[in-house]
Amino acid sequence: MTDESLEGWAPEVGDGITLEELVERAFDYRGNVTVIKRDGTELEGYLFNRERDAARPFVRMFDRAGDGPYDIPYSDIRTIHFTGKDTAAGNSYAAWLRTKGASKPASGGA
């Protein structure tokens, strides 16, 4: 894992991170993740919501094909891996400003 991107990060809950912290990072991630359930099944896709204050907290995601949404209770999640390309990596506001500045046409007198 780098400071800039979580892409490729495959943590295990309890290894210095709680499930709740992992869900928050996955929610903020702008790429696909793989939710690995306690029963061993996996769902890869885009995690776009979480309901942490529900009576039974859950995440909501679409699979890679765009099917869903699927609701997965926190209690069913063993871990979450950051398997998809981070579409926001290297696209910080500062990088955007540099690109925007470089794309401006040079102003000149006539």
Would you say 45 and 68 are in contact if contact means Cβ atoms under 8 Å apart?
yes
pLDDT, the chain, mean = 83
Q: Is the pTM of this model over 0.75?
A: no
CATH number of 19-103: 2.30.30.100
**pLDDT tens, 65-93?**
999 999 999 999 999 999 977 666 665 55
Burial zone of 13 (CB within 10 Å; 0-12 exposed, 13-18 middle, 19+ buried): middle
The domains of the chain are located at 19-103
Average pLDDT score over residue span 32-44: 96
Task: Quickly state the pLDDT bin for 11 (edges 50, 70, 90).
Answer: confident
104: Cα separation from own chain's centroid: 32
List the one residue out of 25, 26, 42, 37 whose CA is nearest residue 74.
37
- Classify residue 16 as left (phi > 0), alpha (psi -120 to 50) or beta: left
Check residue 109 and give its pLDDT: 53
Average pLDDT score over residue span 45-73: 95
**Distance from C-alpha of 67 to C-alpha of 81, rounded to nearest angstrom:** 20
